[in-house]
């Protein structure tokens, strides 16, 4: 019989990211990020004031407390601390996060803090971002500053959020600032360089003797062959696995690349006329960090079914919620398809909770030095509406419940999962979807900034307070 009870110290929380919640993107001494001009030029939506978390964090944390949450995921905006990416810190930015963490403590909500959530300072981003190795040094210096400055405030650190999304949206899909379509070698090279930056930060944290734990957050998707009997589909699934998961997981847990992974990396790079470079000493520091790394944050939304694909790359990002408009066919990789009967959201995200379990099994089998998982994001984007004063998001409750069931199954067989953060705490600004794609426990009226708990918030409160999932 499947257990329906979570461990005593399990963390239940909601997730946020600085740029998606804070607002005040160009004030209080904050430096620019590439998104500022990109969004202004597009004119589709503004990150201001998002959900005004910069001014409302205390009342949002009070809501967390009231709704039974004992954790929150937040990120520090690098350009609030170092407006130009390096140099002199901005005192207002530094103070803001001290105040935020103090409020977390006052409300009994444990902060899980990410150093980089898609928002490199413009000075870094425009200067090659992580394709420019000088920026690895800048990231390390920023990380060292934060470890020291917030040593008394923070016990749970993550270096990067979703290197896969950051690199694929920029260098494969071209939907993010300075976007470029299908440059697989730049995508993979940036992934490697960011993993070197991660490794440097992990070693700095451990060498500094700071209390607490450190890890990284990856956006993982299990890659199934569309037709499990088709060797070509199996190969496509392997390609997409390396592009999204494997390079990053090998780097995280092995500190180098398994020969099979390396062979596919080289194939992918060659298919976009590029090469993959590992600098001297990279593997040394990566291997050391792989042993020191404490935890992996898994952001899990969906899995993929891969078909072989021989044509030119053909991509269309569904950023509007018009179901069925997304396409992802990449030369040298394959085509992402949906198996009949598998449900999808209006943004064409595949709903497949079992994939989360398969991913955790895969990691525990392949990387015996993994120590613990947090599910740092999982959730459902919806066009939530207020009807008669209430927001009925039963669909989202079902989505979360199904994922929590697979997490309990994993815990039952001995996989170490210590927390779950729904994306998102409150409705937020979405990078390529603006404000119509809502994810929160708390509905946000973006005009008045009023928060209204959705049905899912009341449901989650019961789960977190009883630590039980009613089945
Ligand atoms: C993850 C990111 C979040 C968030 C979420 C939902 O990839 O870490 O920042 O945006 O996805 O994505 P979207 O807003 O595109 O629906």
Q: Give pLDDT tens digits for 190-245.
A: 999 999 999 999 999 999 999 999 999 999 999 999 999 999 999 999 999 999 99
Mutate to test the pocket of ligand 1, among 423, 426, 432, 440 (most ligand atoms within 8 A of CB): 423
Please, what is the Cα angle at 257 between 252 and 259, to 5 degrees? 150
Question: Alpha-carbon dihedral of residues 398, 399, 401, 405, nearest 10 degrees?
Answer: 130
In the 3-class helix/strand/coil scheme, how is 428-463 assigned residue by residue? CCECCCECCCECCCEEECCCCCCEEECHHHHHHHHH
CB hemisphere CA count around 63 (13 angstroms) = 23
**H/E segment holding residue 116:** strand 110-116
**Ligand 1 pocket residues where CB is under 6 Å:** 17, 20, 161-162, 165, 219, 299, 377, 381, 423, 430-433, 437
β-bridge mates for residue 110, sequence order: 71
Q: Supply the residue whose CA is at minimum distance from atom 6 of ligand 1.
A: 430
Q: Ligand 1 centroid to 20 CA: how many Å?
A: 9
Mutate to test the pocket of ligand 1, among 377, 380, 433 (most ligand atoms within 8 A of CB): 377
Q: Ligand 1 centroid to 381 CA: how many Å?
A: 9
pLDDT band at 371 (very low <50, low <70, confident <90, very high): very high
Handedness of CA 414, 420, 422, 424 (dihedral sign): negative
Q: Supply the residue whose CA is at minimum distance from atom 13 of ligand 1.
A: 430
Cβ–Cβ under 8 Å, residues 86 and 141: yes
Q: What is the pLDDT of residue 115?
A: 99
| b/e 381-392 (16+ beta carbons within 10 angstroms → b) | bbebeeeeeebe
93 has a pLDDT exceeding 80 = yes
Q: Which residues contact 313 (CB under 8 A, 6 or more apart)?
A: 181, 182, 329, 330, 331
- The dihedrals phi and psi of 277, each to the nearest 5 degrees, come to -115, 130
Residue ranges of domains in the chain, CATH in brackets: 11-219+246-306+373-466 (3.20.20.80)
CA gap 92, 89 in Å, rounded: 9
Cβ–Cβ under 8 Å, residues 415 and 364: yes
Q: Supply the residue whose CA is at minimum distance from atom 10 of ligand 1.
A: 430
What residues are labeled active site? 377
Mutate to test the pocket of ligand 1, among 21, 299, 380, 383 (most ligand atoms within 8 A of CB): 299
Atom of ligand 1 nearest to the CA of 219: 7
Q: Give pLDDT tens digits for 282-325.
A: 999 999 999 999 999 999 999 999 999 999 999 999 999 999 99
CA gap 226, 74 in Å, rounded: 36
Atom of ligand 1 nearest to the CA of 20: 9
CA gap 292, 286 in Å, rounded: 10
CA gap 35, 121 in Å, rounded: 10
Positions of E strands within 285-408: 295-299, 304-307, 314-316, 327-330, 334-337, 373-377
Atom of ligand 1 nearest to the CA of 17: 9
Cβ–Cβ under 8 Å, residues 200 and 255: no
DSSP annotation string for 25-76:
TT-TTPPPBHHHHHHHHH-S---SSTT-HHHHHHHHHHHHHHTT--EEEEE-
Q: What is the pLDDT of residue 191?
A: 98
CA gap 257, 277 in Å, rounded: 12
Q: Ligand 1 centroid to 350 CA: how many Å?
A: 14
Atom of ligand 1 nearest to the CA of 165: 7
DSSP annotation string for 373-439:
EEEEE----B----BTTB---HHHHHHHHHHHHHHHHHHHTT--EEEEEEE-SB---BTTTBTSSB-
Q: Ligand 1 centroid to 377 CA: how many Å?
A: 9
Cβ–Cβ under 8 Å, residues 331 and 182: yes
Q: Give pLDDT tens digits for 7-61.
A: 999 999 999 999 999 999 999 999 999 999 999 999 999 999 999 999 999 999 9
Q: Supply the residue whose CA is at minimum distance from atom 12 of ligand 1.
A: 430
Percent of the chain with pLDDT over 70: 100
CA gap 164, 66 in Å, rounded: 34
Q: Give pLDDT tens digits for 120-179.
A: 999 999 999 999 999 999 999 999 999 999 999 999 999 999 999 999 999 999 999 998
Q: What is the pLDDT of residue 1?
A: 54
Cβ–Cβ under 8 Å, residues 77 and 93: yes
């Amino acid at each position: 019989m499947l257990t329906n009870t979570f461990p005593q110290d399990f963390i239940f929380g909601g997730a946020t990211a600085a740029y998606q919640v804070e607002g005040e993107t160009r004030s209080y001494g904050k430096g620019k990020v590439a998104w500022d001009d990109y969004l202004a030029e597009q004119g589709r939506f503004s990150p201001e004031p998002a959900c005004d978390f910069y001014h409302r964090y205390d009342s949002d944390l009070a809501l967390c407390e009231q709704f039974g949450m004992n954790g929150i995921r937040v990120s520090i905006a690098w350009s609030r601390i170092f407006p130009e990416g390096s140099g002199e810190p901005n005192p207002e930015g530094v103070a803001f996060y001290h105040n935020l963490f103090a409020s977390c403590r006052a409300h009994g909500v444990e902060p899980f803090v990410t150093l980089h959530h898609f928002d490199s300072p413009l000075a870094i981003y425009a200067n090659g971002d992580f394709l420019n190795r000088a920026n690895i040094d800048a990231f390390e210096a920023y990380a060292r500053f934060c470890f020291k400055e917030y040593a008394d405030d923070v016990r749970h650190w993550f270096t990067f959020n979703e290197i896969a999304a950051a690199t694929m949206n920029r260098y494969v899909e071209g939907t993010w600032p300075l976007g470029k379509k299908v440059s697989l070698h730049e995508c993979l090279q940036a992934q490697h360089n960011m993993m070197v930056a991660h490794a440097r930060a992990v070693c700095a944290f451990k060498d500094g003797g700071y209390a607490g734990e450190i890890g990284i957050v990856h956006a993982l998707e299990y890659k199934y062959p569309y037709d499990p009997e088709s060797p070509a589909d199996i190969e496509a699934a392997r390609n997409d696995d390396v592009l999204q998961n494997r390079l990053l997981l090998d780097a995280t847990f092995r500190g180098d690349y398994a020969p099979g992974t390396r062979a596919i990396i080289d194939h992918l790079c060659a298919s976009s006329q590029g090469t993959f470079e590992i600098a001297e000493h990279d593997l040394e520091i990566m291997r050391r960090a792989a042993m020191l790394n404490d935890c992996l944050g898994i952001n899990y939304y969906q899995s993929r079914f891969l078909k072989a694909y021989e044509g030119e790359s053909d991509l269309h990002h569904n950023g509007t919620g018009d179901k069925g408009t997304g396409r992802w066919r990449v030369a040298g990789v394959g085509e992402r398809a949906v198996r009949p009967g598998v449900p999808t959201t209006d943004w064409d995200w595949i709903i497949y909770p079992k994939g989360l379990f398969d991913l955790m099994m895969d990691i525990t089998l392949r990387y015996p030095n993994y120590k613990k998982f947090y599910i740092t994001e999982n959730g459902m984007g919806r066009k939530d509406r207020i009807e008669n004063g209430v927001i009925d998001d039963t669909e989202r409750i079902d989505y979360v419940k199904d994922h929590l069931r697979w997490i309990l199954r994993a815990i039952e067989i001995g996989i170490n999962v210590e927390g779950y953060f729904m994306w998102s705490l409150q409705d937020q600004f979405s990078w390529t979807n603006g404000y119509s794609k809502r994810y929160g426990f708390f509905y946000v009226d973006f005009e008045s900034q009023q928060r209204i708990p959705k049905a899912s918030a009341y449901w989650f409160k019961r789960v977190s307070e009883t630590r039980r999932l009613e089945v």
